[in-house]
Amino acid sequence: MKDKLISMAPFFVILALVLGWGVMQGWFTSAPLPESPESPESRLAAVAETTPPESAPKENAPETAETLPPATQESAPATPPPADEPTAQRWSTYHGDTQLAGVIDVALPDAPSRLWRFQANSAIYHGPVASESLVHFVTGKGEVFGVDFKGVKAWSRQLTRLSPVDQTEKPARVDGPVSCFDETVFVGTMAGTLHALNAATGEEKWQTDIDSTILGAATMQPASGDQPARVYVIGQDDGALHCLNMNDGTPLWKSEPIDRCDGSPSSGAGVLAFGSCASALHVISADSGDILHNISLGDDDQVAGGVAFRGSSLFSGSHSGELFHADTKTGEIVWSNTDAESEIFTTPAVSPTHVIFGSMDDNFYALDRANGQLRWKFAARGLTMSPVIAQDKVVVGAGGVLSLLALETGEELWSFEVSDEISSPSIIEGMILVGSDDGSLSAFGTPE
């Protein structure tokens, strides 16, 4: 027997070697082994992929908001942006400050009351802006107003144009938003004139004709070095960016024409950005007007809304319904999202964690800023306007209804039917303000 076992020894050695090799190759396991030593992060990812998510109790689900579980990630999410990014200190454009990011660090009541209502003579298509002591807005017929924070009129001024037929003055047509910088209100007209008005009195400081329709809001860059404070406006017809001396309206330069542009430029960190019908985002030097990047989006990705600017990031919707995050320094697209089922003409609101926008499919969408994945969507009541983020709430307007949503879940917390159509909301002195098609400006907040 001993001799027999000795004679079989080579067989057992070979069998052991085969079994060892099989284990190493994962022949006898239900899942392949990792190619490299397993890290804590990969173990957590494996658990997340094999553990089904818990379903939220149905009784807690909002009626009009669809909260979606996070998509499985193939890799760790990008490093979150800094939580201390600056937010709008004063509402100087239709979407906050010059960055058009639509974010302000203000606590809003859970159920605001209408505090006052100011009646103008024609429709107010865009949200108001603020100077030191007044609220400013313009009607579609070119009448600019200054009202105080209690809704009492301080002044109004009718902008005019020269009729090409009989050379008489006619009311100017204004389809774009107003802006207010350094106690000066800027209003562009369809005839191509940019007006600069004294914010306290309404008196005209200067006006400049750029020879092209102005449909977007003006933006600015403060004085630096030998550069004066500058104001910028886009000519709709060819997408050329015009730079003017903010003190007197003197033209300083004009960028190369690009393509038709219906949106507004945003500015920050020495550059300006906007989108156009060239299906691209454009990054331009604020000092020279040189085009630094033309970021191509796609054949059907024309941009008609504003572009939100945060740090070195741009966020923009498009005609195809795709939402893009691009980098101003590299000119590259970081990520894109295709959840929307129709055009995106609104300007996204961008917080350190969320990107929120409205689509022509009558939904508001909230994306994870780090990776662009859908966090929730909210079924609105009609045409969506540009949303605003205020701490833990989102202010949205659609189909004449103003609503507050929970930032984290999209649950509707409060709503108020203002009119048939309303403007995008503005946040001024802790109040929510919206214009409407019936010519009224309404303020909502906490009663004194």
pLDDT in tens, 193-242: 999 999 999 999 999 999 999 999 999 999 988 889 999 999 999 999 99
DSSP per-residue codes, 126-182: S--EE-SSEEEEE-TTSEEEEEETTS-EEEEEE-EEE-TTT--EEEPP--S--EEET
pLDDT band of 162, cuts 50, 70, 90: confident
Element (H, E) at 191: none
CA gap 76, 28 in Å, rounded: 30
Within-domain flag for 385: yes
Which of 339, 371, 341 shows the shortest CA–CA distance to 354?
A: 371
pLDDT band of 42, cuts 50, 70, 90: very low
Burial grade of 57 (CB within 10 A; 0-12, 13-18, 19 or more): exposed
pLDDT at 84: 53
pLDDT at residue 26 is higher than 80: no
pLDDT at 5: 38
Query: In total, how many domains does the chain have?
Result: 1
Contact residues for 39 (Cβ-Cβ < 8 A; gap 6+):
none
Give Cα separations from 431 to 24, 317, 412, 438 (angstroms).
Answer: 66, 27, 19, 20
pLDDT band of 52, cuts 50, 70, 90: very low
Within-domain flag for 65: no
pLDDT at 374: 98
pLDDT at 424: 97
CB 304 within 8 A of CB 336: no
Which of 161, 216, 221 shows the shortest CA–CA distance to 187?
A: 216
Within-domain flag for 1: no
The CATH number of the domain holding residue 165 is 2.130.10.10
pLDDT at residue 165 is higher than 50: yes
pLDDT at residue 89 is higher than 90: no
pLDDT at 16: 45
Which residues form the domain of 149? 75-445
pLDDT at 19: 41
Within-domain flag for 32: no
pLDDT at 82: 56
Within-domain flag for 26: no
CA gap 364, 381 in Å, rounded: 10
pLDDT at 164: 83
Mean pLDDT of all residues belonging to the chain: 85
pTM (two decimals): 0.82
pLDDT band of 448, cuts 50, 70, 90: confident
pLDDT at residue 108 is higher than 80: yes
pLDDT at 86: 67
Within-domain flag for 123: yes
Within-domain flag for 37: no
pLDDT at 88: 73
pLDDT at residue 27 is higher than 50: no
pLDDT at 53: 34
Q: How far is CA 290 from the centre of its chain?
A: 24
Asked which of 60-69, 112-121, 320-329 is least confident by mean pLDDT, the reply is: 60-69
Residue 44, classed as helix, strand or coil, is: helix
pLDDT at residue 349 is higher than 90: yes
362-369 contact pairs (CB < 8 A, 24+): 362/398, 362/399, 364/394, 364/396, 364/398, 364/405, 364/410, 365/323, 365/337, 365/339, 365/340, 366/394, 366/407, 366/410, 367/323, 367/337, 367/339, 368/70, 368/77, 369/80, 369/81, 369/325
Within-domain flag for 61: no
CA gap 127, 111 in Å, rounded: 21
pLDDT at residue 40 is higher than 60: no
